[in-house]
């Protein structure tokens, strides 16, 4: 395995860093405070090719590898994890799912616009009564011949009110269990589709999280992804790659907090010297840097596995499990290094600490990652 980044990788990383510092940093505190979706910034990210990075150029994507995606996700997440979750959902759940399992018609109709960022998508698996236990879906997609009749509620949907394409996982045949589940492409103007109020969240407050209600929504049969009953496997396979995106988000949140802590430690004086001269602070920075490096290697390993068509279920879950723990620990310590200043908004680290927590919850909690990893180890 060779983790030498190519010139292309470095160029993607530099472009993402530049974008994050110049376009996302100004206004990030205000967007967090007012729960403002970064609409203009997401549009620009689409123009720069960050919304469909790995999609084949024939569908409008960047044709890049997963390593490039990890590098870009890290840089964007250092500054604005609300923007990076939009990027992650669009790239690794919606675009990847459609490109890998969609029909040519579905790709032409939806993927071409999703990959350029002209529109964004949402991935709708979780429900009020079914989060980790994803097979116990209550939402039903009744087979009515040439359409499915969709009824039920999805919870916590990222891009809930801003998406133009929703990939909805629903139960068609309860008796078949997970083999009776389908994945359907739903558009927001379909009759019977309603969007609940925006969630008021601890972190990633700029992102747009809603419940969705479906009442007798008629979804044409041609909007089903894959064969009848493939919906649960579609969700699992898609999430396996999505976890690399969220692992990279966690990595970015950690490395963003670390960089701020180093800068502050060199500026702030206490007892006549910069606090960076106190060994207690040096040791915190050493721990942070070591953990971040290990998290980065796990993210790159998972991306490398994906790029080389090896199985990445375990490595992606390991990357997410570890990087999200590192994000939590590093951001808490970065606040500590900043002392009282770390507790107020303008120094950014308190936001990163709040944003870090979600990486241990969505796209499978840390406990679920351990289930995925241990099943692989023991099989």
Judged by CB under 6 A, which of 132, 136, 282, 290 binds ligand FAD? 132
> Which of ligand CAA, ligand FAD, none does residue 367 bind to, with CB < 5 to 8 Å depending on kind?
ligand FAD
Task: Out of 152, 180, 342, 364, name the contact with ligand CAA by CB under 6 A.
Answer: 364
Residue 290: Cβ within 10 Å count: 11
Q: Which residues contact 127 (CB under 8 A, 6 or more apart)?
A: 137, 138, 139, 152, 153, 154, 155
What's the closest the beta carbon of residue 336 comes to ligand FAD, in angstroms?
25
41, 77, 137, 209: residue in contact with ligand FAD (rule CB under 6 A): 209
Burial environment of residue 278 by CB neighbours within 10 A (0 to 12, 13 to 18, 19 or more): middle
- Copy the structure tokens of residue 119: 């529109």
Q: What is the DSSP string of 170-239?
A: EES-GGGGGGGEEEEEE-TTSTTEEEEEEP--SS-TTS-EEEEEEEEEEEEGGGEESSTT-HHHHHHHHH
Total residues at interface with ligand FAD (CB under 6 A): 23
365 binds ligand FAD (CB under 6 A): yes
Show the binding pattern over residues 82-121: x = contacts ligand FAD (CB under 6 A), - = does not.
-------x--------------------------------
CB of 265 to ligand FAD, least distance (A): 31
Judged by beta carbon, residue 155 or residue 315, the one nearer ligand FAD is: 155
Q: Measured on CA atoms in the order 149, 152, 158, 160, is the torsion positive or negative? A: positive
Angstrom distance (rounded) from CA 112 to CA 125: 23
Stretch that binds ligand CAA, among 101-109, 138-146, 236-244, 269-277 (CB under 6 A): 236-244
Q: 74, 127, 333, 363: which one is catalytic?
A: 363
- Applying CB under 6 A, among 6, 100, 108, 132 the residue interacting with ligand CAA is 132
Q: How far apart are CA 153 and CA 321, in angstroms?
A: 28
How many residues bind ligand CAA, per CB under 6 A? 23
Give CA–CA dist 271/251, Å, rounded.
Answer: 33
Among 59, 148, 166, 232, binds ligand CAA (CB under 6 A): 232
Q: Does the footprint of ligand FAD cover residue 126 (CB under 6 A)?
A: yes
40 is catalytic: no
The distance of closest approach from Cβ of residue 4 to ligand FAD in the complex, given in angstroms and rounded to an integer, is: 35
Q: Which of ligand FAD, ligand CAA, none interacts with 352 (beta carbon under 5 to 8 A by kind)?
A: none
Contact 351, 359 (CB under 8 A): no
- Decide if residue 225 touches ligand FAD (CB under 6 A): no
**Which alpha helices (DSSP H) does 268-347 contain, by range?**
279-307, 313-337
What length does the chain have? 379
Residue 165 touches which member of ligand FAD, ligand CAA, none, C-beta under 5-8 Å by kind: none
| CB nearer to ligand CAA: pick between 262 and 361 | 361
Interacting partner of 240 out of ligand CAA, ligand FAD, none (Cβ under 5 to 8 A depending on kind): ligand CAA
**Contact positions with ligand FAD (CB under 6 A) in 344-363:** 358, 361-363
Relative orientation angle of helices 66-79 and 279-307, to the nearest 10 degrees: 150
Buried/exposed 56-85: b ≥16 CB within 10 Å, e otherwise: eeebbbbebbbbbbbbbbbbbbbbbbbbbb
Does residue 240 sit in helix, strand or coil?
helix
The footprint of ligand FAD (CB under 6 A) covers: 89, 122-126, 131-133, 156-158, 201, 204, 209, 358, 361-365, 367-368
The footprint of ligand CAA (CB under 6 A) covers: 85, 89, 123, 125-126, 132, 134-135, 158, 178, 232-233, 236-237, 239-240, 313, 362-364, 368, 371-372
**Which residues are catalytic, by number?**
363
């Amino acid at each position: 395995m060779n983790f030498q980044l190519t010139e292309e990788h470095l160029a993607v990383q530099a472009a993402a860093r530049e974008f994050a510092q110049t376009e996302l940093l100004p206004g990030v505190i205000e967007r967090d405070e007012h729960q403002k979706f970064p609409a203009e910034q997401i549009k620009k990210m689409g123009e720069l090719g960050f919304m469909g990075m790995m999609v084949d150029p024939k569908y409008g994507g960047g044709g890049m590898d997963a390593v490039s995606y990890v590098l870009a996700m890290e840089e964007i997440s250092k500054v604005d994890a609300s923007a990076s979750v939009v990027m992650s959902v669009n790239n690794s759940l919606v675009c990847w799912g459609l490109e890998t399992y969609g029909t040519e018609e579905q790709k032409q109709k939806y993927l071409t616009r999703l990959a350029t960022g002209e529109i964004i998508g949402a991935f709708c698996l979780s429900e009020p009564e079914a989060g980790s236990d994803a097979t116990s879906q209550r939402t039903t997609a009744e087979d009515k011949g040439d359409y499915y009749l969709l009824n039920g509620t999805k919870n916590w949907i990222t891009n809930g009110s801003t998406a133009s394409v929703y990939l909805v996982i629903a139960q068609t045949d309860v008796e078949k269990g997970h083999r009776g589940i389908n994945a359907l492409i739903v558009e927001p103007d379909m009759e019977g589709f309603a969007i609940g109020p925006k969630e008021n969240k601890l972190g990633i407050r700029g992102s747009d999280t809603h419940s969705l209600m479906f009442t007798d929504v008629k979804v044409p049969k041609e909007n089903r992804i894959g064969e009848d009953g493939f919906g649960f496997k579609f969700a699992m396979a898609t999430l396996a790659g999505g976890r690399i995106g969220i692992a990279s988000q966690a990595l970015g949140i950690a490395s963003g907090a670390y960089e701020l802590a180093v800068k502050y430690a060199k500026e702030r004086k206490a007892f006549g010297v910069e606090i960076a001269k106190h060994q207690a602070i040096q040791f915190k920075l050493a721990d942070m840097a070591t953990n971040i490096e290990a998290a980065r290697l796990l993210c790159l390993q998972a991306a490398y596995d994906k790029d080389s068509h090896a199985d990445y279920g375990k490595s992606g879950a390991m990357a997410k499990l570890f990087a999200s723990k590192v994000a939590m620990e590093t951001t808490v310590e970065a606040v500590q290094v900043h002392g009282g200043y770390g507790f107020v908004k303008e120094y950014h680290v308190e936001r990163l600490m709040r944003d870090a927590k979600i990486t241990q919850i969505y796209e499978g909690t840390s406990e679920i990652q351990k289930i995925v990893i241990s099943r692989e180890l023991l099989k």
